[in-house]
């Protein structure tokens, strides 16, 4: 069913074949439980000639793969591709061009917002996949026949899925919208990797005063860089809860750090001085405009009406409401347009504007 590549020469030869294919299916297997960066365990590639599995543990030079990934003339079919993009970045230092995400295509075709690969294959192609190896150790060698079979199946049906979804999207007139959204998601993925925006992932930050939020931003940035440098999960360094507690604590010094709940003696000994230095720098710099909190509560009624509009428009087009706008996106729209008197956020422009944004803006304006 598939072949296995374990050396540089085999990869180079295969990449030449795939570069001429025009369309390939791509997937990866990896482990990320104890590291910041994913640890690649396997690369799966499918073209019209079959499935090839690449063992990255046996490869020393990924240049041919990088050239393939950045060859925009080759369409790369992937499913829920964000973590796979992380893997390819680790291996090659490049971001694939010409990606078509079948999960996103499925959403545009009305098959649910975050449908799994197995679910779409079953619904659209009538094939039930065995998912028994989902939690395998992909770094253990040798890989078992069951693991290799499972991995091959993850790319085997990407091309048939793409063909079926492409026909549906063409009939619905949504091909251009999908392409636009793919570009938007690509930019969002790149932005999410910037350490400066790490604080956006921290929960409960909205309860902090501006000066405290500035400290949280600084601490989040420091934690992100430290986690990258040490290749360890953020939570293993300091949890989000500890970051928020540190940001809210007044007049911290070496002694009072010991009273911070959740900050272990080991972490305090290792990172205490760096934490205090980071806090002092943030306090001296002071809060910026982005640290000013926006109280969403006065807009609760407006948000409810906006959510109803999104659901109505989504139902009318047989689209998942989450594809049009999540609650967080609606909050960002209200904050930008109403609270700050600014422009419509980027994600509400383009294909969404005629579908739902104009109606949302009409609703917002009618409330003012």
Domain boundary among 291, 320, 335: 291
Confidence (pLDDT) at 343: 86
pTM of the predicted structure, to 2 decimals:
0.92
Q: Any idea what the CATH number is for the domain that residue 48 is in?
A: 3.30.420.10
Confidence (pLDDT) at 217: 97
Residue 31 sits in the same domain as residue 159: yes
Q: What is the DSSP string of 327-362?
A: HHHHHHHHIIIIIS--PPPGGGSTHHIIIIIHHHHH
How many Cβ atoms from other residues are within 10 Å of residue 155's Cβ?
26
Domain boundary among 291, 308, 333: 291
Of the candidates 114, 117, 84, the one whose C-alpha atom is nearest the C-alpha of residue 189 is 84
Q: Would strands 75-78 and 23-31 be described as parallel, antiparallel, or unpaired?
A: parallel
Give me 204's structure tokens.
């409960």
Residue 153 sits in the same domain as residue 285: no
Residue 268 sits in the same domain as residue 312: no
pLDDT in tens, 248-266: 999 898 889 989 999 999 9
Where would I find the H helices in the chain?
8-19, 63-69, 82-92, 102-108, 117-120, 145-156, 158-172, 175-192, 210-230, 234-237, 240-248, 265-285, 300-317, 321-324, 327-334, 351-352, 358-366
Residues in a beta bridge with 45: 26, 52
Residue 81 sits in the same domain as residue 10: yes
- Report d(CA 196, CA 200) in Å as an integer: 9
Residue 358 sits in the same domain as residue 245: no
Give the domain range for residue 67: 2-192
Residue 254 sits in the same domain as residue 160: no
Residue 125 sits in the same domain as residue 205: no
Residue 27 sits in the same domain as residue 161: yes
Contact predicate 306/296, CB 8 Å? no
Residue 36 sits in the same domain as residue 84: yes
Q: Any idea what the CATH number is for the domain that residue 324 is in?
A: 1.10.150.80
Residue 25 sits in the same domain as residue 171: yes
Domain boundary among 250, 267, 291: 291
Is residue 300 packed enough to be buried (19+ CB in 10 Å), middle (13-18) or exposed (0-12)? exposed
Does the bond joining 142 to the residue before it have cis omega, within 30 degrees of 0?
yes
Residue 171 sits in the same domain as residue 214: no
Contact predicate 109/169, CB 8 Å? yes
The whole-chain average pLDDT of the chain stands at 94
Structural domains in the chain (count): 3
Confidence (pLDDT) at 216: 97
Confidence (pLDDT) at 365: 85
Is residue 229 packed enough to be buried (19+ CB in 10 Å), middle (13-18) or exposed (0-12)? exposed
Residue 274 sits in the same domain as residue 353: no
pLDDT in tens, 112-155: 999 999 999 999 999 999 877 777 899 999 999 999 999 999 99
pLDDT in tens, 30-39: 999 999 999 9
């Amino acid at each position: 069913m598939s072949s296995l590549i374990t050396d540089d020469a085999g990869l180079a030869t295969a990449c030449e074949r795939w570069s001429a294919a025009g369309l390939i299916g791509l997937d990866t297997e990896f482990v990320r439980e104890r590291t910041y960066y994913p640890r690649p365990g396997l690369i799966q590639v499918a073209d019209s000639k079959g499935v090839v599995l690449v063992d990255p543990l046996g490869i020393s030079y990924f240049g041919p793969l990088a050239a393939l990934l950045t060859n925009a003339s080759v369409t790369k079919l992937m499913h829920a591709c964000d973590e796979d993009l992380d893997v390819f970045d680790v291996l090659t230092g490049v971001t694939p061009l010409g990606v078509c995400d079948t999960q996103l295509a499925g959403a545009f075709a009305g098959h649910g917002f975050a449908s799994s690969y197995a679910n779409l294959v079953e619904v659209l192609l009538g094939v039930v996949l065995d998912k028994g190896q989902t939690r395998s150790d992909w770094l253990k060698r040798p890989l078992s026949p069951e693991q290799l079979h499972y991995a091959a199946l993850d790319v085997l049906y990407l091309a048939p899925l793409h063909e079926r979804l492409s026909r549906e999207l063409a009939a619905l007139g949504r091909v251009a919208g999908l392409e636009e959204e793919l570009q938007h998601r690509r930019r969002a993925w790149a932005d999410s990797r910037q350490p400066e925006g790490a604080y956006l992932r921290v929960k409960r930050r909205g309860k902090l005063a501006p000066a405290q939020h500035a400290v949280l931003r600084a601490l989040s940035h420091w934690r992100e860089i430290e986690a990258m440098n040490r290749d360890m999960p953020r939570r293993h360094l300091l949890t989000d809860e500890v970051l928020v507690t540190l940001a809210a604590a007044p007049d911290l010094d070496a002694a009072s750090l010991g009273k911070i709940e959740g900050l272990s003696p080991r972490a305090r000994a290792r990172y205490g001085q760096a934490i205090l230095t980071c806090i002092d720098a943030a306090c001296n710099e002071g809060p910026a405009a982005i640290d000013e909190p926006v109280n969403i509560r006065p807009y609760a009624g407006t948000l409810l009406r906006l959510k109803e509009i999104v659901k109505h428009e989504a139902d009318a087009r047989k689209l998942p409401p989450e594809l049009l706008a999540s609650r967080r996106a609606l909050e960002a729209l209200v904050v930008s347009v109403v609270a700050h008197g600014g422009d419509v956020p980027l994600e509400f422009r383009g294909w969404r504007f005629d579908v739902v944004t104009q109606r949302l803006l009409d609703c917002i304006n009618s409330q003012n």
